[in-house]
Amino acid sequence: MEKYRIDASKGLEFGLYTLGDHLPNPSTGERIPAGQRLEEIIELAKLADDVGIDFFSVGESHQEYFTTQAHSVVLSAIAQATENIKIASSSTIISTLDPVRVYEDFATIDLISKGRAEIIAGRASRVGNFDLLGYDLHDYEELYEEKFDLLLKINQEEYVNWEGQYRAPLRDAHILPRPLNGSLPIWRAVGGHPSSAVKAGYAGVPIFLATLGGPVSIFKRTIDSYRDALRQAGHDPAQFPVATAGFFYLAETTQQAQREMYPSVNEGMQKTNGRGYPKQHFAQGADKRDVMNVGSPQEVIEKILYQHEMYGHQRYIAQMDFGGVPFDKLRKNIELIGKEVLPAIRKYTKK
């Protein structure tokens, strides 16, 4: 776990992530300028740092309604603006980037932030980045696997010899700068389906699992499959952290939280994914057995603890800014997290 900078004795880590979406506020239909959205993301990271949240990450999406395409640049600004919080990508779409360049960027962010940077490498659910950056969508799987492997190799070896299909060969290539403590935590982004988690298990890398909605028990199967695969490949699951990520929103009552969050989730998903979030499913999200952490602080604390009991995971990452949620609501959420959620989950999960 030390390799991934996780100290399990302190209990479950709590983080925030943003996809960097740039969507209208559903109650006004208005969208803030891109510059303001970027400032607010950086401000959100600062506020999170101030109240002691463990982690903050920013995603990369190359399409309409997003504004953090250059996510490593945004992370660099966050590195400068914060003191203690860990910072990462969620995710870096490694398939259509050059792993050498990604490593240079994140090692630099690690130095600027004094050892706080991590990489979560994913494959993208929307695929506009392939045409835009000059890659063939037919290579979707292989591009990811090959480039992810190269990224891991660069993390382990300062001088790299490598040959592959999708990038020019590297001959005694000296990859600089090196991160503050020799290596970066690199995670594999995994969707709900177990097959990708199993690949991560065989490869011996930690997973960052997206869990937007549905029963906790379904995602537990994916995590169990991951740990089984780790064991089969001769790794010790106790050495590999698991992070889960999903929708989060706090208000005084669960009803109020649902009322404030539903339009953002529904209209945001309609615009970015082409399908809204069915109300019936969102209503079930309030159940303790569902992964969606939308509700009153007390109910959400209980849900996070229930998830921790089921998953035995090391980090939970909350997405609460999706779909044009106004900044004053985000600020209020951060206050509640700092005052109520963090002390409770730390108290009950520390060892």
Residues lying near another protein in the complex (CB under 8 A): 63, 125-128, 137-138, 140, 255, 258-259, 262, 273-275, 278-280, 282-283
Residue 237 or 276: the one with the smaller Cβ distance to another protein is 276
Query: Least distance in Å: CB of 274 to another protein?
Result: 5
**What is the closest distance, in whole angstroms, from the C-beta atom of residue 194 to another protein in the complex?**
17
β-strands 242-250, 207-210 pairing = parallel
Is the sign of the CA dihedral 137, 142, 144, 150 positive or negative?
Answer: negative
Closer residue to another protein, CB minimum distance, 214 or 338:
214
Nearer to another protein, 63 or 298 (CB): 63
Closer of 127 and 305 to another protein (Cβ): 127
- How far separated are the first and last CA of the chain, in Å rounded? 14
Minimum distance from residue 275 beta carbon to another protein (Å): 6
CA 267 to chain centre: 21
CB of 137 to another protein, least distance (A): 6
Q: Considering beta carbons, is residue 211 or 314 the nearer one to another protein?
A: 211
Q: Kind of pairing, strands 55-58 and 86-89? A: parallel
Among candidate residues 316, 346, 320, the one with its CA nearest the CA of residue 331: 320
CB of 233 to another protein, least distance (A): 28
Q: Quick one: 3 or 126, whose CB is closer to another protein?
A: 126
Strands of the chain (E only): list them. Answer: 13-18, 55-58, 86-89, 92-93, 117-122, 159-162, 170-174, 186-190, 207-210, 242-250, 293-295, 315-319
What is the C-alpha separation between 11 and 105, in angstroms, rounded?
30
Minimal distance, residue 128 CB to another protein, in Å: 6
